Structure 1
Amino acid sequence: MTTFSINDFVSQTKQDDAENEFFELETPRILEVNLTDRVWAKAGSMISYIGQIKFEREGILEHGVGRMFKKAFSGEGTSLMKAEGSGRLYLADQGKKITIFDLNNESITVNGNDLLAFEPGIEWDIKLMKKVAGMLSGGLFNITLQGTGLVAVTSHYEPLSLLVSPGEPIITDPHATVAWSGHLQPEFRTDINLKTFFGRGSGESIQMEFSGEGFVIVQPFEEVYSEGRNS
């Protein structure tokens, strides 16, 4: 059994006061944002902050009428908050591991529940998965981010990147799929027998099929959603 004095514990776990990058991993599961202007983050992800920072929930017309209607269909999972001001902001989401991507005029599509934060200069849009709206409850949306800047994505445990090659499609479980190349367009397929075979009850097993060339990021955990919220 490992024990600590209070001073030793505080010394080993205290925040790093050296401000360097805009996004920094304070721990593998806590993101530090060295804020000087603005950042978009998942609503409810703030765990602490130092400085003069104001929080505002995303306005219904903040990103245009088109996205407003998409948000009405995709539930609370896409809700964002805007943090403005100067200071250090700490973000986390249910103890999930955080990965920071530095986009260089690139695009990535992220499961709506797995997007933690992104720089305000990044362009984004919600992509609804209408084909499976009646098959999966919640979690039916993805967010495509494009441009140059930082994007923080969360996953349960360590993520795995699978390479998609022409003629060799990758099949994934939607509940374990975190993100993929922005240009890939997944197709949805069902397998009536697979779910029963693994003893998970009757009904159809929904799968995502990625074809072309790119990557898919999966996690060793099936995240189940209900009405746009993590259940």
Structure 2
Amino acid sequence: MQSPLFAHTEAQTHERYALQNGYLLRVTVDGSEDILARKGSMVAYQGMVEFDGEYQHHGRRMARALTGEGLDLMRVSGRGTVYLANLAQHVHLVDVDYEGLTVDSAYVLALDSSLNWEVISVDSQYGISGTGKYQTVISGQGKVALMTSGQPLMLNVTPETYVNADADAVVAWSSGLNVQMQAQTHSSGVWRRRGGTGEGWELSFLGQGYALVQPSELLPPQNAVIGSGLAAQFGMGGSGAHGANQGNIFTN
């Protein structure tokens, strides 16, 4: 049998984490340390590899139930090679140091089991932005595999040059940054994604670190029907943009 497909063979590397291509992550488990991966993200594996549901203590279960934020993971153990992907999203490897990484949990593909994570509240307006009121902080030392819809932009934040980004396009940022949510317009239509500007709320990053932005937003098209009632008109509640459009992006 002959085909150009045979050019797409396994990546030959001794690295624990390696990109097979831009959309597929190759992870080697050797019995010394498990990895935690997004549930359902395994597309292939070789060797004696086991997959188990990851236990979450009561605090994490409560945080997820109350906020909708949190990592839904499986534990990968044994010896072998695992290939992970999610809806052909772009995969990126990040080395987390003790500064920490704050991320929307929907963009996490895998991480070292030695890393710690918890849900925190950020300066946000709940229900208005797809970014939400809560995010996940990952701390410790180890690797995290993130996903983006399209090729992302990494922005350098310094005390002299702070960064503003559409709240619905932000994927992650350095945990040491100060974060505020704001809108540039003061018009009465600001609650409807800034009236006629076509833009929603933005996150403002101050301090020293980095912010990762993807070329995709969470909210529906500007003229989409998002329900009726006062709550829906302001983008809140189950019939608002955030509540009524779950699953309209690749991250869900």
Larger proportion of strand? 1
- TM-score bracket, normalised by the shorter chain, equals 0.7 to 0.9
The alpha carbon displacement at 1:31 in A equals 0.3
Please point out which of 143, 153, 167 is paired with 2:146. 153
Q: Which residue of 2 aligns with 1:51?
A: 47
Q: Which residue of 2 aligns with 1:162?
A: 155
Flag the 1:111–1:76 CA change in 2: closer, same or farther, 3 A: closer
Verify: 1:27 aligned to 2:26, yes or no.
Answer: no
The alpha carbon displacement at 1:130 in A equals 7.5
Q: Which residue of 2 aligns with 1:124?
A: 117
The alpha carbon displacement at 1:29 in A equals 0.7
The alpha carbon displacement at 1:115 in A equals 1.0
Gap runs ≥5 in structure 2? 220-241
Q: What one-letter code is carried by the residue in structure 1 that aligns with 2:162?
A: P
Equivalent-residue separation in structure 1 for 2:243 and 2:130 (angstroms): 5
Secondary structure of 2:176's aligned partner? coil
TM-score between both structures, scaled by the size of structure 1: 0.82
Q: Which residue of 2 aligns with 1:195?
A: 194
Residues 104 and 131, structure 2, Cα contact 8 Å, conserved in 1: no
After the TM superposition, which segments of 4 or more aligned residues of structure 1 sit over 6 Å from their partners?
none
Q: How many residues align?
A: 218
Q: Which residue of 1 aligns with 2:225?
A: none
Matches within 5 A, 1:1-231: 7-16=2-11, 18-37=12-31, 38-61=34-57, 65-75=58-68, 78-129=71-122, 131-136=124-129, 140-190=133-183, 191=185, 192-193=189-190, 195-199=194-198, 205-224=200-219, 230-231=247-248
What is the identity percentage for the equivalent residue pairs of Structure 1 and Structure 2? 27
User: How large is the Cα RMSD of the aligned pairs?
Assistant: 2.5
Larger proportion of helix? 1
- For each residue in 1:122-149, what CA deviation from the matched residue of structure 2 results, as whole angstroms up to 9, or x when unmatched? 1222224474223246754322112221
* Greater relative contact order, per chain length (Cα 8 Å cut-off, separation 6+): 1
Equivalent-residue separation in structure 2 for 1:78 and 1:104 (angstroms): 19
TM-score between both structures, scaled by the size of structure 2: 0.76
Q: What one-letter code is carried by the residue in structure 2 that aligns with 1:149?
A: G
Flag the 1:151–1:49 CA change in 2: closer, same or farther, 3 A: same
Gap runs ≥5 in structure 1? 1-5
